[in-house]
A = this chain, B = another copy of it.
Amino acid sequence: MLTKRQLVILKEIVRLYTESGQPVGSKKLLEQLPMHVSSATVRNEMVRLEDMGLIEKTHLSSGRIPSTKGYRYYLDHLVEPSSVAASDLAVIETSFDQSYHQIDQIIAQSAKILSSLTSYTAISLGPELRDSRLTGFRLVPLGDQQVMAILVTDNGAVENQIFTLPHELDSDSLEKAIRIINDQLVGLPLTDVIRRLRSDIPQLLAQYLGTPTGFLNIFGNVLKKAAQERFYVDGKMNLINPATIKNVDQLKSLYSLVDQNDDLAKLIGIPDQTIEVRLGDELTNNLLRNFSLITATYDVGDHGKGMIALLGPTSMPYSRMIGLLDVFREELAKKITDYYTHRGDE
């Protein structure tokens, strides 16, 4: 168990190190401490904190930096979210102040705002699409055997893809096939749609289409795109950070990690808490040892939950970041709720 003085010292070490990026020595520390003690006392306390594994030295006679364990302790017991600067709030509000025609635009914009506000890499995931329902599927002929398949969900997601029509499909049977899809599947959650696509739908279609595989491929493809969780990542270049990146190769592999949504999704997983910080070695990926991931979930009622996250160096200013994310979740949820209700009104 830590004494009160040790808590103050640990907290101050975290703060100073985050501010300066330099190891914190007893003298610098002393200037900042509220209590009236000598540097020797501070040094003694630091030895004890080091024994507990909460801080560490970079070399024998250096100042101390928080260890990962120290950060963990700080985050679990000491961090106090700071209130958001008025200017930041203004940026959020003005950046969101435009009309959106698609839910994805809002999600993408939120990643952009967050990364520009924090100078870190921001990741934004829209409200879960899993629970969204199919509201319509149609094929629009574009000429030259090209068709655009369009799929709409009740979450406002619109997915489209362009295909060359397989030879065996004539427009009459296509019409019928589309009617079947719409009759049978509209209103169902996408997960159910996917399930039925594997069970009874092929047989139903077979009545009108000789071989329904061509059509099923088209529909399945667009459906897959729509059901896919899509991450929007912004501020990738903020990963370029002398503190965390040692060599060029590391940077390149980091980029490809961040570019591959699958890997990123796996990495982030499903956060337990509303706001959660995971430190480098708690993440599964080795490349991120010096990084830290702050995730925050937000709630848009019937439309499910979404997530925003920040990826940055372990020595982030957590109190500011957590405070910011906490406000941002609400702003974003509000904006999305607005979007849905507005859309219903008009």
Residues of chain B within 8 A (CB-CB) of A167 are 346
A266 interface contact, C-beta 8 A: no
Q: By the criterion CB–CB under 8 Å, are A164 and B343 in contact?
A: yes
User: By the criterion CB–CB under 8 Å, are A150 and B148 in contact?
Assistant: yes
Q: Mark A161-201, 1 if CB is under 8 A from B, else 0.
A: 11111010000000000000000000000000000000000
Q: Per a CB cutoff under 8 Å, which of B158, B162, B251 touches A102?
A: B162
A143 to B134, CA, bound (A): 12
Contacts of A158 in B (CB 8 A): 142, 146, 148, 162
With an 8 A cutoff between CB atoms, is A2 at the interface?
A: no
Cα A167 to Cα B152 in complex, Å, equals 22
Q: What is the chain B residue whose CB lies nearest that of A105?
A: B162
A248 part of interface (Cβ distance < 8 Å): yes
Tell whether A164 pairs with B240 under 8 Å between CB atoms, given A138-B140, A140-B140: no
Select A150's contact among B140, B161, B163, B343, beta carbons within 8 Å. B140
Q: Are A136 and B146 in contact (CB under 8 A)?
A: no
Q: Is the Cβ of B162 less than 8 Å from the Cβ of A101? A: yes
| Chain B residues closer than 8 Å to A164, beta-carbon distance | 99, 101, 343, 346
Which of B135, B140, B144, B346 makes the CB contact (< 8 A) with A343?
Answer: B144
DSSP class of A's interface residues: helix, strand, loop or mixed?
mixed
Q: Evaluate contact between A251 and B240: CB separation under 8 angstroms.
A: yes
**Distance (Å) between the CB of A52 and the closest chain B CB?**
36
Min C-beta distance of A226 to chain B, whole Å = 13
A237-B252, A240-B252, A248-B242 given as contacts; is B160 within 8 A of A152 (CB)?
A: no
Query: Closest chain B residue to A162 by CB distance?
Result: B101
User: Is A101 touching B152 in the complex (CB atoms < 8 A)?
Assistant: no
Closest Cβ–Cβ distance, residue A225 to chain B (whole Å) = 14
Q: How far does the alpha carbon of A138 sit from the alpha carbon of B136 in the complex, in Å?
A: 18
Given contacts A101-B164, A162-B101, A162-B158, A144 and B344 within 8 Å (CB-CB): yes
A127-153 interface with B by 8 A CB criterion? 135-136, 138, 140, 142-146, 148, 150, 152
Cβ of A240 to closest chain B Cβ, rounded Å: 6
Whether A143 touches B148, Cβ cut-off 8 Å, given contacts A237-B252, A237-B255, is: no
| In the complex, chain B residues whose CB is within 8 Å of the CB of A162 | 101-102, 158
A240 contacts which of B142, B146, B248 (Cβ < 8 Å)? B248
Does A163 lie within 8 Å of B101, measured CB to CB? yes
Q: Give the complex CA separation of A16 and B255 in angstroms.
A: 32
Q: Which residues of B have CB within 8 Å of A163?
A: 101
Chain B hits for A344, CB < 8 A: 144
Q: Beta-carbon contacts of A210-252 to B below 8 Å, as 1s and 0s? A: 0000000000000000000000000001001010000010011
* Interchain CB contact under 8 A, A145 and B240: no
Inter-chain CA distance A302–B156, complex, in Å, is: 40
B contact residues around A240 at 8 Å (CB): 248, 251-252
Specify which chain B residues have a CB less than 8 angstroms from the CB of A144 in the assembled complex.
156, 343-344, 346
